[in-house]
Structure 1
Amino acid sequence: MEVAVEDLEKQMQKTDAKLDSLAVQVGNIENEIFSEDGTHIEVCTLLKSVNEVKNNYQNLHKEIQEVQGLQKELSSKLQGQLLLMQKKCNLLKEKLCIKLPDKQQTTNPPRLILSPTSSGQNTD
């Protein structure tokens, strides 16, 4: 179970890093389009950049779906373990509720009789 949680965390970190990268790419394209220095932007270069962002977005979308699948799988496993623990808890409760025989019905405990020799006094 711990391995599944670690895998999920790693996958989420990768996806988060790719999302950050995608945001940087979009920001760079915006800067190129809206730059005020009067530079000429080639349409072909712009299309390549937009296409690259689109492909990265599609890959990111697939990874997010994988993360969601891992989350569902982990959630299902946790629910299964919770049900198992509840059953064990109920079983233990039932075992504890079994009536023990009354103390009066059992044999009486032995009585101790103290004699001078058993009390620790020396009789010499």
Structure 2
Amino acid sequence: MEMSGYQDISALEKSVANAGSQLYTMAHKLHAVERSLDQTAMEQMDEMEVMELLESMTEVKNEYQNLRKDIQEVQQLQRDVSTSIRYQMTSMQQTFQMLKKRIATTQQRRRHQRDQLQGPTTVAAHPH
């Protein structure tokens, strides 16, 4: 499925924004876990706190995996956009060359037609 360059860039921007949001969420959760560990020694933690900590760590891990997936999607979109731009540029160059040849051919025809309409020009010899 070929998307236009604008759609590719729009999807790329959305993926980058989503990855940034997930990165922020992951950093916030990691910070909360670090605060929890700083405030409570592991020996003093009850089973419920350990379970909450494990749950938080699982969430952070899942967010990290989602972030990696989003980053991979962004990279693929970047490759797609780059390929699309390269294709469009090649197409434009080919079109430019074709138009350049047409212009040159048209100019040659016009010169040839003009020369034919003017007829042969003879230079009169001047006797001395």
TM-score higher than 0.5 here? yes
Aligned residue identity for 2:10: E
The CA distance in 1 between the partners of 2:117 and 2:21, in whole Å, is: 71
Cα root mean square deviation, aligned: 2.0
- Among 107, 111, 117, which residue is 1:106 paired with? 117
- Which residue in 1 is equivalent to 2:75? 68
- Which residue in 1 is equivalent to 2:34? 30
Aligned residue identity for 2:39: S
Runs of 4+ in 1 over 4 A off after TM superposition: none
Bigger helix share? 2
- Which residue in 2 is equivalent to 1:12? 16
Aligned length: 105
Q: State the 1:4 CA deviation.
A: 2.0
- Which residue in 2 is equivalent to 1:121? none
Give the TM-score, by structure 2 length. Answer: 0.71
Unaligned runs of 5+ in 2: 120-128
SS in 1 for 2:39: coil
Unaligned runs of 5+ in 1: 109-124
Identity %: 32
Larger radius of gyration: 1
Between 1 and 2, higher relative CO (CA 8 Å, sep ≥ 6) is seen in 2
